[in-house]
Structure 1
Amino acid sequence: MTARKLVLASTIALLATTACKRSGEIDATGGITAVRSVCPAVAVPAATGDITTFTSPTDRSADAIDVNAIITNVRSTCNDAADPIVTQISFDVLARRSNTDGARDVSVPYFTTVLQGGTVVVAKRIGQVALRFEPGQARARATATGVTYVTRAAATLPEEVRAQVTRQRKPGDADAAVDPLSDPAVRAAVARATFEALVGFQLTDEQLRYNATR
Structure 2
Amino acid sequence: MLGGCAGKGEIEDGGITAVRSACPQVAVPAGTGDITLFDPATSRDSTAIDVTATITDVRSTCGDAGDQVNTAVTFDVIARRTHTEAARDVVLPYFVTVVRGGSAVVAKRVGSVTVHFDAGRDRAQASAAGSAQIARAAATLPDDVRAELTRRRKPGDQDAAVDPLSKPEIRQAVLRVTFEALVGFQLTDDQLKYNAQR
Question: What's 1:9 paired with?
Answer: none
Pick from 85, 99, 103: which aligns with 1:119? 103
| Deviation for aligned residue 1:57 | 3.6
Matched position secondary structure for 2:67? coil
The residue number in structure 1 matching 2:187 is 203
User: How far, CA to CA, are the matches of 2:45 and 2:155 in structure 1?
Assistant: 62
Q: Bigger shift: 39-48 or 168-177? A: 168-177
Which TM-score applies when normalising by structure 1? 0.87
Deviations 1:64-122 (A, max 9, x none): 10000000111110001132100001000011110012111110000000000001000
- Is 1:62 aligned to 2:42, yes or no? no
Residue of structure 1 in register with 2:93 after alignment: 109
Matches within 5 A, 1:146-185: 146-185=130-169
Aligned residue in 2 for 1:140: 124
Alignment size in residue pairs:
198
Equivalent position amino acid for 1:79 in 2: G
- Secondary structure (helix, strand or coil) at the match of 1:34 reads coil
Name the counterpart of 1:11: none
Give the alignment's TM-score, normalised by structure 2.
0.94
2:67 equivalent in structure 1: 83
Q: Gaps spanning 5+ residues in structure 2: where?
A: none
Q: What value does the CA root-mean-square deviation take over the aligned residues?
A: 1.9
Partner of 2:114: 130
1:61, distance to aligned residue in structure 2 (A): 2.4
Aligned counterparts of 1:76 and 1:188: Cα–Cα separation in 2: 26
Equivalent residue number for residue 25 of structure 2: 41
What is the SS of the residue equivalent to 2:196? helix
For the residue of structure 2 that corresponds to 1:185, the secondary structure is: helix
Residue 103 of structure 2 aligns with an amino acid whose one-letter code is T
Task: Provide the residue aligned with 2:56 in structure 1.
Answer: 72
- The whole-number CA distance in structure 1 between the counterparts of 2:13 and 2:64 is 29
For residues 21-36 of structure 1, what are the structure 2 equivalents within 5 Å?
21-22=6-7, 26-36=10-20
The reply to whether residue 93 of structure 1 matches residue 77 of structure 2 is yes
Aligned letter for 1:150? I
Q: Distance in 1 between matches of 2:35 and 2:81?
A: 12
Percent of residue pairs identical? 61
- Structure 1 counterpart SS, 2:165: helix
- 1:26 Cα deviation (Å)? 4.3
Q: 2 CA distance for matches of 1:156 and 1:169?
A: 23
Alpha-carbon distance in structure 2 between the residues aligned to 1:154 and 1:82: 13
- Structure 1 residues not aligned, in runs of 5+: 1-5, 7-13
Output the CA distance in 1 between the equivalents of 2:105 and 2:135. 15
In 2, the alpha carbon distance for the partners of 1:158 and 1:87 equals: 22
What amino acid does structure 2 have at the position aligned with 1:204? T
